[in-house]
Amino acid sequence: MVVKKHILNNIQKLDRLYNSAPTAEATYYSKLAIIELCGWIEHSMDNIADNFATRHLTSTPFRDMYSSIKKGTYGFEYKKNFRKMLSSTIGLHNMQSIELSLTTTGEIAILEATLSSLKTLRDNAAHTFIDATTTYQAPSATKSQLLIIYPILKKIGQQVRSL
């Protein structure tokens, strides 16, 4: 699992800059916080799968298959990207076990909803330019989203490591 400390420090710094900047400049810090968090999420998801693949896939043909799966995964949506990549790597039975444990606690619904919300925000931030009417959530809201999803991703990473 990728360390939370660095992304948290980055978002907190962006929040301080946001709070001390003129309104026109503050928008840049909001946009950057969203893009930074989403990049960290993608990297964390890849890292969870990478750690499993490194430990369990010992032959070149299967390592190559994993590389192909990973290269074909663009994004951080739960079902479309992460679940698909992870289940292809760890197997459907293992993915089912992990997901069932997260379903009983409600964490899977929280993760899916938060990632879906972030996907919309990221797409808006990445595919538009800033003009007078452009607004983004404050970095403090982005930080809250990090603090919601981090323990869930950490739990998934721990469960994958235990396989």
**Residues whose CB falls within 8 Å of the CB of residue 75, separated by 6 or more in sequence, listed in order:** 42, 81, 119
Quick check: 20 pLDDT over 80?
A: yes
Q: b or e along 142-163 (b: 16 or more beta carbons within 10 Å of the residue's beta carbon)? A: bbebbeebbebbebbbebbeee
Answer with the residue of higher pLDDT: 132 or 66: 66
The answer on pLDDT for 23 being more than 80 is yes
Asked if 33 and 11 count as a contact pair (C-beta separation under 8 A), the reply is yes
- Counted domains in the chain: 1
Q: Which domain holds residue 119?
A: 4-161
Average of pLDDT values for 79-97?
Answer: 96
- The pLDDT of residue 1 is 65
* 43-67: average pLDDT: 96
